[in-house]
Amino acid sequence: MIVTVTPNPSLDVTLAVERLERGAVHRATTRQVDAGGKGINVARALAANGVEVRAVVPVAGNAGRHLESLLTGSPRLQVRPLPVSGETRSNIAINEPDGTTTKVNEPGPRMSARDADRLVDAVIAATVGARWAVLAGSLPPGPGDDLYGRLVDALHEVRVRVAVDTSGPALQRVLAHRPDLVKPNVSELAEAVGRDLRTVGDLVAAATELRDGGIDGVLASAGPDGAVIVNGAGAWHGAPPSITPRSTVGAGDAMLAGYLAGGAHGPRALAEALAWGAAATALPGSRMPGPDDLDRAGVRLHEHPDLDHVLEEARSL
């Protein structure tokens, strides 16, 4: 059992256009609406591949009820809704045929101190029998940048391992609480260590720096350059299978889900992560891959990575 926590969920609206031009009027060729937010995406990916998962989700207003309804129907996914005030946000993604995705994310409803306390209690209640909890995505306005730190401390008290995927001040603050795993992309890891990362060697060095600060594992995604895992078992770099990209939305979340489903340790888990992340990139909108979408044979792993390999892009897979 894995528990996911999405403090700032969204309705993800994905529009497809032939070409995005600033200041122009566009006519979308397709429209898709999914339950969104990084933790929800992780939960959807796990459930699609047969892993039991509970999703703790604050829901607000009519949009929140719509989001909750979109998560029903999977026998592997248990939704733990937490009613809060306000209105759940909507995020807009605009996809072009070459896979380029432009996103506009709303800030989300303000979370009161009382609702933050209720969220911590709901998460602890949901983790009975769980081996991992995933804290993922941006934080809503209101509770402060240390909400994830509070959750890490509370979860460690009940002996649940914690993976965190967030960015900015929330990532900087949670590192001091020593989650068991963090999953930054290149730019997020660069911000965490305060320097540019241009090669695989830079990624390994930065991930090692976080480990020296008490983080057991660092899974750093690097878009078309694959990903690096650095943990107690060593350091590996992996390249994803070749795919035709359709949407990058949720691909990093699928990667984290694959890593946890693969055992969350060493090269086997990294290979699974790369297969899941690439499969999500090949799907439209924020769809999560199932077993038939995965190309495990196309993943290439390197236990002793080419540390001088220059990274092409600093974006999340």
The pLDDT-based confidence of 317 (bands split at 50, 70, 90) is: very low
Integer CA distances (angstroms), 13 to 40, 66, 159, 180, 284, in order: 15, 13, 37, 32, 12
Considering the domain boundaries, does residue 34 fall inside one?
yes
Q: What is the mean pLDDT of residues 268-286?
A: 91
pLDDT for res 266: 84
Considering the domain boundaries, does residue 317 fall inside one?
no
Structural domain total, the chain: 1
Considering the domain boundaries, does residue 73 fall inside one?
yes
Considering the domain boundaries, does residue 233 fall inside one?
yes
Residue 19, domain CATH? 3.40.1190.20
Number of H helices, E strands in the chain: 9, 14
pLDDT in tens, 68-81: 999 988 899 999 99
Considering the domain boundaries, does residue 108 fall inside one?
yes
pLDDT in tens, 130-154: 999 999 999 999 999 999 999 999 9
The full DSSP string for 251-275 is HHHHHHHHHHHTTSSHHHHHHHHHH
pLDDT in tens, 112-132: 999 999 999 999 999 999 999
On whether the CB atoms of residues 226 and 290 are closer than 8 A, the answer is no
pLDDT for res 316: 38
What is the rounded CA–CA span in Å between residue 304 and residue 241? 19
pLDDT for res 271: 95
Q: What is the mean pLDDT of residues 214-232?
A: 93
Active site members:
253
The full DSSP string for 231-255 is ETTEEEEEEPPP------TTHHHHH
Considering the domain boundaries, does residue 312 fall inside one?
no
Indicate if the pLDDT at residue 313 is higher than 60: no
In the block, residue with structure tokens 């969104």: 36
Q: What is the mean pLDDT of residues 211-217?
A: 94
* Average pLDDT score over the chain: 92
Q: Which amino acid is at 116?
A: A
Considering the domain boundaries, does residue 307 fall inside one?
no
Instruction: Write out the residue range of the structural domain in which residue 265 sits.
Output: 2-302
What is the rounded CA–CA span in Å between residue 250 and residue 48? 14
Indicate if the pLDDT at residue 305 is higher than 80: no
What is the rounded CA–CA span in Å between residue 11 and residue 52? 23
The full DSSP string for 14-60 is EEE-S---TTS----SEEEEEEESHHHHHHHHHHHTT--EEEEEEE-
User: Helices in 30-159 by DSSP H: which ranges?
Assistant: 38-48, 61-70, 113-126, 147-157
On whether the CB atoms of residues 147 and 168 are closer than 8 A, the answer is no
On whether the CB atoms of residues 137 and 37 are closer than 8 A, the answer is yes
The pLDDT-based confidence of 315 (bands split at 50, 70, 90) is: very low
The answer, as to whether pTM is greater than 0.75, is yes
Q: What is the DSSP letter of 139?
A: P
Considering the domain boundaries, does residue 311 fall inside one?
no
pLDDT for res 181: 98
pLDDT in tens, 10-39: 998 989 999 999 999 999 999 989 898 999
In the block, residue with structure tokens 């976080």: 210
